[in-house]
Amino acid sequence: MELNHTHDVTQRSWLETANVAGTDFPLQNLPLSVFRRRGVGETWRGGIAIGDQIVDLAALQQAGCMDGLALEAVRAATATTLNALLDMGPPAWQALRHALFELLRAGSPHEPNVRKTLVSQAEAEYAVPVRIGDYTDF
């Protein structure tokens, strides 16, 4: 895997919990998940962990902070599984990662809009992120 600017350990996020030493989810580690708020009955949707929060990708799509291939990728990640996003391939995954890195980086002009998309990890429940239809374990 080729490392790029999104792996630069000197970069910090405007979200302070992403900058805490030992955090599992700093700016350089933005894992995908499928989640919803616990006990609310919301639709499952894609999210990205950062610090102690989740960026709700459905809300981020509505915030108008992305364009191009990154916007197409975030749209695909608003479904109840991440299959559509995975089907888009590495260029879309990279575009999404780069856009999220810029949105979450300290000094981002989009901080106020992105902050509105955050959901506490403590308030979330998670689902299996992909549907695998052609696998048998013997």
Residue 36 domain flag: yes
Mean of the per-residue pLDDT values of the chain:
95
Query: Model confidence over 66-93: pLDDT tens digits?
Result: 999 999 999 999 999 999 999 999 999 9
First-to-last alpha carbon distance for the chain, in angstroms, is 32
pLDDT at 127: 95
Query: Model confidence over 47-64: pLDDT tens digits?
Result: 999 999 999 999 999 999
Residue 135 domain flag: no
Residue 3 domain flag: no
**What is d(CA 59, CA 37) in angstroms, rounded to the nearest whole number?**
13
pTM confidence score: 0.92
For the chain, what is the largest distance between any 2 Cα atoms, rounded to a whole number of angstroms? 52
Number of domains in the chain: 1
**What is d(CA 13, CA 109) in angstroms, rounded to the nearest whole number?**
12
Residue 6 domain flag: no
**What is d(CA 112, CA 107) in angstroms, rounded to the nearest whole number?**
11
Residue 131 domain flag: no
Name the residue range of residue 78's domain: 14-125
